[in-house]
Amino acid sequence: GENVEQHPSTLSVQEGDSAVIKCTYSDSASNYFPWYKQELGKGPQLIIDIRSNVGEKKDQRIAVTLNKTAKHFSLHITETQPEDSAVYFCAARGVKAAGNKLTFGGGTRVLVKP
Amino acid sequence: DVKVTQSSRYLVKRTGEKVFLECVQDMDHENMFWYRQDPGLGLRLIYFSYDVKMKEKGDIPEGYSVSREKKERFSLILESASTNQTSMYLCASSLWGAVATNEKLFFGSGTQLSVL
């Protein structure tokens, strides 16, 4: 099955700096790559996603890039703010997966220091 | 907004007890999922269901079962709880199909289960 690795596991940045989280996946047929943000005491929420026919997608201060050849994708957060502090999960969905079954990475705890 | 409600925020059980975790969603979603969240391991899929009375094993189904008698409710059952099942359990739902707008997972706030 699909295997997703996520790095780093923790990331501390100064407010205003950029943060980058990287994920690699194993199934070359995977076609959908979402990112979820989990704030303290809450369930994860989708913040951005990208499909295999697109190389980059941006939504305000967050962007995701996909390199299908290398089988990795990254989340970029610019001008970080304290409210960006959370745990972030990447995920990938293989073509053979049924019912929107996603494989998640191990998570990255991001701390934005004021 | 979609709401996914998990019945308990914290639960403490003894080894060997039968444990029920309940999840209810209010948006008529076909798909429902149970994940467990452990530090460094991310979210791992236990079971999912794409219709009433239908269930499929996820990546780590051992020691768990599920029940979906009504579309809005998906229960996770630990037949005989063990200490290695101490974890955060997250329920999620989504619409059916491969249409782009249907792929978003909506999560509940989670149940932190401690098995002593």
Q: B3-47 pLDDT, tens per residue?
A: 999 989 999 999 999 999 999 999 888 889 999 999 989 999 999
DSSP B105: -
Q: Hey, are the CB atoms on B44 and A104 less than 8 Å from each other?
A: yes
Cα separation, B1 vs B3, whole angstroms: 6
A44: which chain B residues are within 8 Å (Cβ-Cβ)?
Answer: 43, 90, 105, 107
- Give the closest of B4, B42, B96 to A107, CB-based: B42
Shortest distance between the Cα of B50 and any Cα of chain A, in A, equals: 6
Here the contacts of A58-64 (C-beta below 8 Å, separation 24 or greater) are: A62/A35, A64/A33, A64/A35
Q: What is the pLDDT of residues A59-113, one digit of tens each?
A: 999 999 999 999 999 999 999 999 999 999 999 987 665 555 789 999 999 999 9
Does residue A75 contact residue A66 with C-beta atoms inside 8 Å? no
For A3, A26, B69, the CA distances from A103, given in Å and listed in that order, are: 7, 11, 26
Token pair 């509940």: residue: B108
Tally DSSP H helices, then E strands, for chain B: 0, 11
DSSP bridge pairs for A108: A88
Distance between CA B104 and CA B87 in Å, rounded?
Answer: 24
Q: Is the CB of A32 less than 8 angstroms away from the CB of B103?
A: yes
Q: Are B89 and B21 in contact (CB under 8 A)?
A: yes
Amino acid at A80: T
Q: How confident is the model at residue B99 (pLDDT cuts 50, 70, 90)?
A: very low
- B20 is written with which tokens? 């029920």
| Shortest CA distance from A39: residue in chain B | B109
Contact between B43 and A100 using a beta-carbon 8 Å cutoff: no
Q: Which tens digits make up the pLDDT trace of A16-62?
A: 999 999 999 998 888 899 999 999 999 999 999 998 888 999 999 99
